Structure 1
Amino acid sequence: MSAALVLLAYAAAVGFVGPAVLLKSRWPQRAPLLGAALWQAMNLAFCAAVMLAGYGLAMPSQHLHIVLVDLLRTCGVHSDSISAGSDRFAVAWPVMVLAALLACLGGRLAHTGRARARHRRALDLVGWRSPELGVTVLPYAVPAAYCLPGRRPRIVISDAALSRLGPAQLGAVLEHERAHIAGRHHLLVAAAEAFRLVFPGLPLTRSACQQTGLLLEMAADDRALRTSSREALAGAVVELAQARTPAGSLAASGPAAVIRMRRILSPQAAPHVLLRVGLVSAATAAPLLPLVVSCSGVG
């Protein structure tokens, strides 16, 4: 079997079978950051397999090092060692896929960045700063809390939330939002959305986009639970469940509030250290396997 066929089979397994297996697994909710990382690793693995399989089908006799040399040639770097039979179309395929991913990622970051900038300007007009809490208070009849991540991060909370939440609940919510900002979770969300835009309809990218957001909310919950009780955080999630938040923000509310509340009130032990090591190894190896197959020239 040629390397290209092996890569296509690998891409099919990662893109169609992998999501079904991972969605049935319980460990991602016990280690949400690791789960989010594995979803992104699977996205990268699928992308690498598709790019290298396309090159392998067009140039079945060439190994991966020829791809790299051809990329240099495409960029204007000439060398006597470049194969005269290299096909520019074969090189163009991985370049186009990579360019599409980078363009979608840049587009998502730019779009959400503009949305956050507009919202910041609106907050400056209608909101006010609370120095003791370190947040912007927004006049809004519904309890709401969210953060605007990025270079100028800001936590926003409605005056209705301030009146409804107790001190312990408020502390849990603020710590949840600080976790989003400190972890730069918006970058992982943007990356997942970029893969979904480049490969629309693929079970992997669709599920990765949904699960990444949910797992990052759970990771922020875990950060809040370091300093807050489970009852306080769960109560805050219930109070904020119906809030609507602006584009580009990360919030403690949302449609997954019920799932998160059950997880908060029914804690489970973190995965065993051996399982975590195995999962980290799998997340690292998944995107590298297509490179190994291409270099080895299977078949």
Structure 2
Amino acid sequence: MLYLVIGLVCTAVLLSCLAGPALDRLRRPAAHPLIAISCWFAALAGILIAGIGIVAVALLAPPAPGHGLLEWLRNCLPHHGDEAIIMAAAASLVLLTACCSRLARSLPRLSRAVRHRRRHWETLRLVARAHGRHDDVLVLDHPVPVAYSLPARERAIVVSTGTQEILTPEEFCAVLVHERTHLRQRHHTMLLVLDLAYALLPWLPTVRRARKTLPLLLEMAADDAAARACGRRTLVDALYRLAATPGVAGALGAAGPSTGALTERVLRLESAAMGKPSRVVRAAASAFVATAVATPLLVAGATIVQLSEIC
């Protein structure tokens, strides 16, 4: 039992403190962004599972009030001293209060982000018009070049008249492929999950690094799809023309979140390091994903099962 608890804590520490610096190297151009994205989210999932397991152990381990639930009142309680019961109850109350406080502060933030996107979309429907040739595009009458996407059931891509004027038809096609990739691969949902993880556990190094790295990797994944469909040079020219595009909260734009990120993306597109990952890289990534998720899940499950047999 003790070894299982130590293993669960060690798993949480390794994923929380060491996985981030190791995975941050996968942002380099030689890495495939989809592989890096899967590894990052596997690490975040493992941290969440391990954290839930640790909280469950803290609440269910004897003589904590959660141990044995109703059976605890009849059988387990007499076996422990009054001081131990009071200390366990106080510690459990503090832990529950801290967890509920984090959730109470995080869930409204997620709800506000969803409401903001919905209001933005409703406003666009009033001021923008449908594109004549593309069923999923809204056109905003504005000279500033803008191109971004929002998670919506219809007309999820927004472009301005300024974008249509400065881009060639081939560059405009590349931008549309880029935004459609964001929507098809559910990148907006991934960003919401990332924001929620950061709101819950902002002090963990892996979570902090993921918040900085994953948005760029999502843009690189969309870049790969656009480059395959329309060519690297075409996409690079389009990105240069959209470099001054202002960011839109809750949206994913082709120009990216910052100038530094855009520069890194362009350098990657212009390099020769965009080939398919080797079998070794794919095997290592698959092993990491499986280990990061399965290990905390199995250890947490085994620990909780052991707790049910201990009084």
TM-score (norm 1): 0.81
**Corresponding position of 2:129:** 128
Q: Distance in 2 between matches of 1:90 and 1:3?
A: 20
2:259 is the alignment partner of 1:257: no
Q: Does the C-alpha gap of structure 1 residues 29 and 47 become closer, same or farther in structure 2, counting only changes over 3 Å?
A: farther
Instruction: Give 4+ residue runs of structure 1 displaced > 4 Å after superposition.
Output: 26-29, 57-62, 80-84, 86-103, 295-298
Query: 1:186-236 CA distances to partner (integer Å, 9 max, x unpaired)?
Result: 111111111100011321111112222111111111111221010110111
Q: Distance in 1 between matches of 2:58 and 2:121?
A: 50
Q: Distance in 2 between matches of 1:34 and 1:91?
A: 41
Contact map agreement 2:150 2:188 (CA 8 A) in 1: no
Q: Which letter maps to 1:234?
A: V
2:286 is the alignment partner of 1:275: no
2:112 is the alignment partner of 1:111: yes
Q: CA deviation at 1:24?
A: 2.4
Q: Which letter maps to 2:13?
A: A
Q: Does the C-alpha gap of structure 1 residues 94 and 184 become closer, same or farther in structure 2, counting only changes over 3 Å?
A: farther
Q: CA deviation at 1:121?
A: 2.7
2:166 is the alignment partner of 1:164: yes
**Corresponding position of 1:154:** 156
2:2 is the alignment partner of 1:4: no
Query: 1:169-195 CA distances to partner (integer Å, 9 max, x unpaired)?
Result: 100000101111111111111111111
Q: Distance in 2 between matches of 1:83 and 1:285?
A: 40
Q: Does the C-alpha gap of structure 1 residues 4 and 168 become closer, same or farther in structure 2, counting only changes over 3 Å?
A: same
Q: Distance in 2 between matches of 1:149 and 1:285?
A: 31
Q: CA deviation at 1:150?
A: 3.3
Contact map agreement 1:3 1:56 (CA 8 A) in 2: no
Contact map agreement 2:12 2:296 (CA 8 A) in 1: no
**Corresponding position of 1:139:** 141
Contact map agreement 2:182 2:252 (CA 8 A) in 1: yes
TM-score (norm 2): 0.79
Q: Distance in 2 between matches of 1:272 and 1:83?
A: 60
Query: 1:72-107 CA distances to partner (integer Å, 9 max, x unpaired)?
Result: x5xxxx7x7999549887699699859956984675
Q: Distance in 2 between matches of 1:96 and 1:13?
A: 23
**Corresponding position of 1:43:** 44
Q: Does the C-alpha gap of structure 1 residues 182 and 106 become closer, same or farther in structure 2, counting only changes over 3 Å?
A: farther
Q: Distance in 1 between matches of 2:235 and 2:166?
A: 14
Matches within 5 A, 1:1-299: 2-25=3-26, 30-56=31-57, 84-85=75-76, 104=106, 107-108=109-110, 110-134=111-135, 135-254=137-256, 255=258, 256-268=261-273, 269-296=275-302
Query: 1:266-286 CA distances to partner (integer Å, 9 max, x unpaired)?
Result: 132222123213312321221
Task: Give the secondary-structure state (helix, strand or coil) at the position aligned to 1:193.
Answer: helix
Q: Which letter maps to 2:166?
A: R
**Aligned sequence identity (%):** 28
Q: Which letter maps to 2:239?
A: V
Q: Which letter maps to 1:184?
A: R
Q: CA deviation at 1:260?
A: 0.8
Q: CA deviation at 1:27?
A: 6.4
Contact map agreement 1:101 1:195 (CA 8 A) in 2: no
Query: 1:111-160 CA distances to partner (integer Å, 9 max, x unpaired)?
Result: 33322222223223332221213321112232110011133451111111
Q: Distance in 1 between matches of 2:74 and 2:262?
A: 57
Contact map agreement 2:50 2:300 (CA 8 A) in 1: no
Q: Distance in 2 between matches of 1:191 and 1:267?
A: 32
Q: Distance in 2 between matches of 1:26 and 1:116?
A: 28
Q: Which letter maps to 1:139?
A: D
